[in-house]
Amino acid sequence: MENASASSGIRKRSIGVTIFGLLIIVLTILFSQPLLRGPRPLMEFYMRPFGIIIFYSGIAFLLFEVILGINILRLKEWARKYLIMLMLFFAATVFLSPFIINKQRWNFAEGTFAQSLEESQNYKEKVAQEKAKFEKKISSYPLEKQKLLGDNYDMAVRTTPRIVYYILYLIQSLAFLLWYLIVIFFFTRRKVKAQFSS
């Protein structure tokens, strides 16, 4: 009877908790790669003194996150609580990051991306095809209107790579935010909380 009650008191880890615990460890290790380059890239990308602060706090957070992942697998309640707080903090940084980025570095990165896209052979061919279609479409218009529409079209083509850069940055930010919110939602569920012990 005592053995039965003792075994019933043993907490079992669900597949979901196992998957999330492993994902937290693996993803943390993968996203630690930029920090291996040292503080210089972050110091250039963010305004002073945020770059150096982000570098050293990033190392501390990544180590802490690995420890949390390991203890999530061990079903420690303190790890679950700290993980939720950490995810809330990371979610807040998604909204704060744009305000501390070094504008010159941002413009350089944006310009470099735009240039690499414009120099891509596939992109050049696509632009040429689309422009030919556009010119054919407006060929029946008066010359003045054709010139105006053509200038507007060329301006749109020049700004497209920069718009793509902003969209990719936004998608990346939203992907991170979604991951943080999913982790928070999962570890605040009643069935999940019941698996953890102090």
pLDDT-based confidence at residue 93 (cuts at 50, 70, 90) = confident
Q: Within 10 Å of residue 8's Cβ, how many Cβ atoms?
A: 7
46 CB contacts (<8 Å, ≥6 apart)? Answer: 54, 100, 101, 102, 105
Cis geometry, peptide bond prior to residue 49 (ω within 30 degrees of 0)? yes
Write down the pTM of the prediction: 0.66
Contact predicate 86/65, CB 8 Å: yes
Contact predicate 61/102, CB 8 Å: no
Task: Please say if the pLDDT value at position 156 is more than 80.
Answer: no
How far apart CA 66 and CA 60 sit, in angstroms, is 10
For residue 163, CA distances in Å to 94, 97, 112, 171 come to 19, 19, 13, 12
Contact predicate 78/196, CB 8 Å: no
| pLDDT tens digits, one per residue of 12-65 | 889 999 999 999 999 888 877 766 665 555 545 555 555 566 666 777 878 888
In the predicted model, what is the mean pLDDT of residues 129-153? Answer: 82
Of the chain, the percentage scoring pLDDT greater than 90 comes to 24
| pLDDT given for residue 17 in this prediction | 93
pLDDT-based confidence at residue 70 (cuts at 50, 70, 90) = very high
| pLDDT given for residue 172 in this prediction | 84
